[in-house]
Structure 1
Amino acid sequence: MSKSKRPLDWAWPVVVLLAASLVVWGAVARLWGVSLAALLLLVWLCWRWGVWAGERRTETWFENLELLMVRLDREGRIVFCNRYLLELTGWSWPQVAGRNWFELFVPEEEGLRALFEQQMAQETIMPQHRNAIRTRSGELRQVVWRNALARDAHGRVVGATSIGQDITAIERAEEGRLRSERILHQIVETVQDVVLLTDAEMRIQYTTPSMYPVGGWRPEELEGRSVFTLLDPEQQRIFQRMIREATPQNHTNRARFSYQRPDGQRRILEASINFLFSAKGAFQGAVVGIRDVTEHYQAEQAVRESEQRLRELANSMRDVVMMLDPKGLIEYVTPSVRAVLGYDPQELVGRSAFDFFEPEDHSWVLEAVRAAREGRRPLRLEYQHRHKDGSRVWLETQLDFVYDLEGNPIRMVLGARQIQDRREAEEQLRKSEQMLRQVTDAMQDIVLLTDENAIVRYITPSVQKVTGIHPQALVGRSAYELLDAEQSRRWGGGGGGGGGRHTRKPYRTVELCVCVPGWPRALHGGLHQIPV
């Protein structure tokens, strides 16, 4: 708030009225001296009232402006200040009236008090200066002042009047702008992407320094050049079409193209284009962001080639491979499943792999999967799975688990191989062995099978009936142990009961005496060499 209402605000009209009454009274009473004196007083009062009213109008005008106004006497004491200054600093007029301006408002380090006293002594004043003022809360505000000497009615210097503008917000905004510019400059210097700014004729007005490592051009080499000079004819046509099709509503586009640097190196670039339009829809240019995606493009190509090779491999493999989620649902299956189980791969995606087991087997299969997962080991099974046509197919499966970094299973890989032919061959072999065993069990003659060192590997059960020796007692022993010393030497044993070389003739019929505990037994037999 400003100064409270002065006593002269109501005293001036009273004094003027009294002076006018004295003039009239003196004239009526013919007291010409009194009347003349009262008239002179009235004239002076009217002049002085006009001066004071002008000052009041000036003060009132400054009261309503967002400008700081202060009037000081020669000692720097506050004679007047406007409401805006008081509101800005947090003081009231009674608290500042008559106080020294420099002690109350100006920080000591500004050094303005001594300068003011010097100027008052010289009756001069700086027309303009800038300094900080301190508010009641201690905050510093930056103010630009315009100063003038204050004089009395006789022209004597009685102090100074200053009008100031608070530029704190402006300075802070400027500091923020400069800080933002510094940050933006640092970003522009370090960013790897290229940013181009063009005019309506697509001439380059600005480009970031990253243009040199990406495009092989220094920014100063491109300023003023047309964007089209950097493109081949086909790319020029594409870019011109983008410009023709751009509208204020549809003003963005993207493109990927092959670019040859001045040094001949070819790079793959990706451009994000923002076409600029005025408020009236006139084309004004473009902002183009360019990114070098050569490595990304090459990685994509490598992935595509790898996927193609994997697809060809999956299409040619006979084994079935399934990718399962942690719940056992099929995420992927190789096309070979069509030949093995009769299903198209698309029919199985999303189904549970456990659907191919009989319902009564689900419990032990799930338990086996759980044990394998907890033991971190693969699970191998041989099982007759259901074919799509209802038949049974023998499959050998192996289930492996894929774990994340925390050791949690995130996927299962199931490999399956058809073993129907092998199982059928094994079954046929089992039947043949059973039949052969039945034949050999019924034989009266002894059939003996040895290796190249005459070690008995098999002998028919009939040996027990003939010799009284159990077949298992002879397996692993030398066949020459069944002969006496003379027969052993004759047939290559090299001594009584010792093993040795076998006969080199493919087949021979002999009569020999077999040594059986308790009594000798003459046998007629045949020796047959099995070629290796």
Structure 2
Amino acid sequence: MMVMDISPEQRIKELEEENRLLQETIESCMRQKEDAETILLDEKIDRDILMNIAENLDHVIVLWTPFLKTLFVSPNFEKLYGIPVEKYKKNPFLFFKVVHPADRLWFFKQTTVRLKNQPMEDVQVRILVNGEVRWVWIKEKRIYNSHGKHILTIGTSTDITHFKKIQEELESFRNQLEQKVKERTEEYLKLNEEYETLNEELRSSNEELQASNEQLKQEIENRIILQRLLESSEAKYRNFLKQSTEGIMLVNREGRIVECNAAMSAITGYSAAELIGMYVWDFDAMLAPQSINISEKEKKDFQKGFFQYLNEKYKEGPLIHEEVEVHTLHGEKYIRRVAFPVFTGEERYIGTVVWDITQKKKNEEELEKYRKHLEKVIEERTQALVRSEEQLARIIRQIEDVILLVDEKGVINYISPTVEQKSGYTQQEMIGKTILDILHPDDVEVARQRFFAFVAKPGEKSVLNSRIICKDGTIRHVEIHSNNLLNNPVLKAVVVTVRDVTEREQARIQLQSQKDFIESINRTIPGFVLLINIKENKVTFINEDFYAKLGYTEEDIKKFRQSFPHQIFHPDDLSRVRSIFSAYATASDKDIIENDYRLRDKIGRWRYFHEWSCVFSRDEEGNVKEVLVIMQDISKQKIAEQEVLTSRNMMRLVLDTIPVRVFWKDRNSRYLGCNKVFAEDGG
């Protein structure tokens, strides 16, 4: 704990002086840092030399490209932020995890400025490292080439925790000073209260005047309370008008509209400014349908009825309670409106509530149309049912599927004549048996469990693939469709349709076998596999890796199959690709043609590929018809070569921007190289 042996005012001055000196020190460091941020790409240099220089700086330095690819991070980055340098390079967004939760959203918004290709302002932000809160000052500077293109961004971070602590201590002393001022003020108020007590004793002689003043004060307080109640009531009334979904308006005893809410404007299309002050009979005439022309006599009759109701007949009930069609600025609508008396003291008003029931009317009209349509459909269906019953017997005799009616125990009560053609059994042999009796033994148990679970759910439908044993012992694949109509008052049975799918099943097994064989080939071949018809200039086959790695959709592939996709090849490689096509025409069946070129993926990136191609098929005249192409992605190898070169250039660029002389030697003290400043100073 700090011992206060000096006055707060002196301590404040000391802290302010220390704060000024620290500020000057930070500004000096930042000027040194800014001198190191001018970069030119010229020569090559070893990364280890840059690392040695960065370790001697007081600031954390980070270099990255306009595409946010990290090129360099100084070793003291982990010391300040607690994040290993290699982890940060792989995932720069780890930085957000150490930003203090209270500053994280604000700092994220600052970062989005950079993503919009705009320089980020200098920021001071808190970070949380191993439970310790630190303050850091972050600055960025963009480097441009001779053409004004942004090529590099240099970011520096400085630990200003000590400076912030001094500021907090300064704020603490200011608070102590304010507390003392407050205590002095309370002492003054206490003295003032003693003075008031003496003054009260002097005024005790004038009790009658004091009582009169108290009474007046009470009356003022009562009026203030009444005013607040009136304001609260007014606010509730206004809020009710604003929030109500029904149109509400108030008409005074002169027949003028004095209030209307937003819902009324929404229903009619007229703003509150247009409606307030309008006579209610003019409002009623304005909303009349276009097919109705309101005469002046009808307006006067409405006006007479309005005043008569307001003065005499208001006790008889609502003035209006009706559903009518009206014309609004939004078109024709149906509304329900109710008009009723409203009394506030001696004032009399007519309140009107309006509901928009246009949709309700439309629904009722649609429902009536549907009811008439349904009656017509029922009549037509009844007639069709009579005709269908006559045709059903003929259809069943002609249909190839076997149709059965079975009860809840699976016993066959009816079976169509086609059973003999499909299984060899006659109708008489099958009636009274269950369908389980002719199923393959391996399928009986599954079919039994599914059937009894199925019959417990009236109205359900199911499909089961199984096998039956024909009368001659042959096995047929069947597809059994069941419809549970046990609760049907007419049928009271399960309708079963048995379809022979033996040929389809055999074809499916053969097709699946071929498909599995092709898939196994695709999985074992690294990269892309394409089959190109060079005579028709289109792609006839592409394996799934093409979708996954280049991001093209099935629609894109369909276009490629219609015409060879020259547009995805790099323009500089097209001439070489065309020469390959020419080589195909003279290639032998044993020739393997290899080549490197670039392809553009779905999002526009260029990727390097190595191709092996050979003749796949020829036409009747012996000319090459199709070519089999296998492509392997070698982008990582190419990018790695470019990154090595770029990294060396970047390190050389950073070293040349440092405003001090730098050189390096080998173990025998022989000079190996130096930076630009050293070379210029040494001549």
Give me the TM-score of the superposition, normalised by structure 1. 0.33
Point out the structure with max Rg over C-alpha: 1
